[in-house]
């Protein structure tokens, strides 16, 4: 079974793309979602987060995402510490999940793959791109966030131009119909590569 890393900056549309692959029957692991589940349920992760960020990290036993986001996206050191706590657990969980899948390939979707130099963990990588102004507008429409909040997350991610050099495949996600046809073509290619 091949492991495909799917990545893209905030608002690029990587979850939208991941969901199209899912409709084609590809098992998809969304790292953001799984990370949050782990942060809400693992006693040892909770303990580490409280010792790093203090008691405000949880509100009524629920991860206080807004509070943590307000700290980490303006402090690279703190973000690295958070990543170091969360990412190894997500990786462990992904390995269990993967063992239960039976398709020729699976997709691991995460916002940061190249930034973490994690590309060698995948057989192939897909980068989802879109112009910066469109990405910002999409997130502002979707989330209750300010432009500054979106941009401070972008500052912790690499530009598309840097990631394009490292990705095996690129999906430019502007027009959804065009995106879908890129996905169908890529799916056929990946099935070929996975079963060769």
Ligand X SMILES: Nc1ncnc2c1ncn2[C@@H]1O[C@H](COP(=O)(O)OP(=O)(O)OP(=O)(O)O)[C@@H](O)[C@H]1O
Q: Answer yes or no whether residue 171 interacts with ligand COD by CB under 6 A.
A: no
* Size of site (CB under 6 A) for ligand X: 17
Sole binder of ligand X in the list 3, 4, 10, 35 (CB under 6 A): 10
Collapsing DSSP to helix, strand or coil, 157 comes out as coil
- Going 137 to 141 to 147 to 149, the CA torsion angle's sign is negative
- Spatial contact of 103 and 27, defined as CB atoms under 8 Å apart: yes
| Rounded Cα–Cα distance for residues 160 and 136 (Å) | 14
Q: What is the dihedral of CA 182, 185, 186, 187, to 10 degrees?
A: 120
Query: Which of ligand COD, ligand X, none lies near 163, with the C-beta cut-off 5 to 8 A by kind?
Result: none
Sole binder of ligand X in the list 3, 4, 5, 13 (CB under 6 A): 13
Reading the block at residue 71, the tokens are 């700290």
Shortest distance, position 97 Cβ to ligand X, whole Å: 19
Q: Answer yes or no whether residue 79 interacts with ligand COD by CB under 6 A.
A: yes
Sole binder of ligand X in the list 94, 138, 149, 163 (CB under 6 A): 138
Shortest distance, position 136 Cβ to ligand X, whole Å: 11
Shortest distance, position 124 Cβ to ligand X, whole Å: 19
Q: Answer yes or no whether residue 16 interacts with ligand X by CB under 6 A.
A: yes
Segment contacting ligand X (CB under 6 A): 3-11, 47-55, 62-70, 82-90?
Answer: 3-11
CA-angle at 49, arms to 43 and 55, nearest 5°: 95
- Spatial contact of 111 and 187, defined as CB atoms under 8 Å apart: no
Q: Restricting to residues 24-63, which ones interact with ligand COD according to CB under 6 A?
A: 31-32, 35
Q: Answer yes or no whether residue 8 interacts with ligand X by CB under 6 A.
A: yes
CA-angle at 94, arms to 88 and 100, nearest 5°: 155
């Amino acid at each position: 079974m091949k492991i495909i890393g799917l990545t893209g900056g905030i608002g690029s549309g990587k979850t939208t793309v991941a969901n199209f692959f899912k409709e084609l029957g590809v098992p998809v692991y969304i790292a953001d979602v799984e990370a949050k589940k782990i942060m809400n349920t693992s006693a040892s992760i909770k303990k580490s987060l409280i010792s790093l960020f203090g008691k405000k990290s949880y509100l009524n036993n629920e991860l206080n995402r807004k509070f943590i986001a307000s700290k980490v996206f303006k402090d690279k050191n703190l973000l690295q510490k958070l990543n170091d706590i969360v990412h190894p657990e997500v990786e462990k969980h992904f390995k269990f999940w993967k063992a239960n899948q039976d398709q020729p390939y699976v997709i691991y979707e995460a916002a940061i793959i190249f930034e973490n130099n994690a590309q060698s963990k995948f057989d192939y990588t897909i980068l989802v791109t879109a112009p910066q102004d469109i990405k910002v507008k999409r997130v502002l429409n979707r989330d209750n966030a300010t432009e500054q909040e979106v941009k401070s997350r972008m500052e912790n991610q690499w530009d598309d131009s840097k990631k394009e050099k490292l990705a095996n495949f690129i999906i430019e996600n502007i027009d959804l119909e065009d995106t879908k046809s890129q996905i169908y073509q890529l799916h056929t290619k990946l099935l070929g590569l996975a079963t060769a």
